[in-house]
Structure 1
Amino acid sequence: MAAKAPSSEAQQQGGGSAGTKPGLRQPVFVKVDSLMPGTTGHTLVVKVLESTTVLSKKPRNPTFRGAQNQNTRIAECLIGDETGTILFTARNDQVADAACGSLLTHLCLFWYAVLIARAYELELGLVEMMKPGNTVILRNAKIDMFKGSMRLAVDKWGRVEVTEPAEFVVKEENNLSLVEYELVNVEES
């Protein structure tokens, strides 16, 4: 049976040639001033203006092994681009918990070690990546609401990457985190 060649439309979408992966889309970069409450999937290039550690605590029982017993660090970072600024919450709890429980088999210990290595490499480094002056790319970021104001965050499905310094000047006058939103219930009549 002969295989059917992909249509020209499928090739334009990235599904036809051998060098591309089907189903992958090019990222659409957005600007800070276009962010709205409750939205997800944002990709942005921003500069870090300020970074303040708001929580840094050690585990209660350091002898116990487990993902919940890691150091917890949370930093609030003021980030922005040429259209405005917003607060970004950098946290180290974005790696999945080790699902080993009491099954301490060799395979489970291997995956536990992989998770710990990933936590050290990705999540503990996240707070260090958000140093003032760095330019970062936030992929698959989402808007969280905190006390009525917007905060940008990257969960376990997103990514933070340090990139080359950007050429834009940050517009610090337009801070979207200073806008307070109120949830209003609309009754239908």
Structure 2
Amino acid sequence: MNRLAVYCGSATPAEPRYIELAREVGRTLAERGIGVVYGGGRLGLMGAIAAGALEAGGEVIGVIPHALANSEVANHDCTELRTVSGMHERKQAFTDLSDGFVTIPGGVGTMDELWEAVSWAQLGYHTKPVGLLNAFGFYDHLIAFNRHMAEVGFVRPAHQGIIIDADTLPDLLDKMAAYQPHTPIFQMQASEL
């Protein structure tokens, strides 16, 4: 994996461990020679991801919509800052520029990015690993909900392994490196759906 899209919050939670985690994720990726593709912001976890990677000499590509770039939240310290017309173009750029996706703690926007990466994998728009860093147990309920969707029958057996989760970044990166793409819906027969 040469580059990973990192999905995370632009907020700064009261607990400093989230900012510290983001900075460590950026630093670790850079130290492993993995470039970071992210939302292009300088605030919150986004800014910490970029700072950690840049401080460690890593490549950081920010992708930010015009509306946010113009509101003075854009991070001009990135190796490259791409400005796009909107959120759809932003997420497409994340997919085009990366070899996989890592989601760390975040809010609604982070969930939107994660679920779109999962949905696109399920359909067959990409065959890249979708990682979920469950630091501090932040995503315990989300992992349980995903399992519940599968148990009820809303996630096909072939797609139950799309979300790769781990509690630590090294474990997550190892699992992502071993990921074997599943059969996407676009390649399935009607009887399999």
TM class by smaller structure: under 0.3
Structure whose CA Rg is larger = 1
Structure that is richer in helix per residue:
2
Q: Quick one: higher RCO (CA 8 Å, sep 6+), 1 or 2?
A: 1
Q: TM-score, normalised by structure 2?
A: 0.25
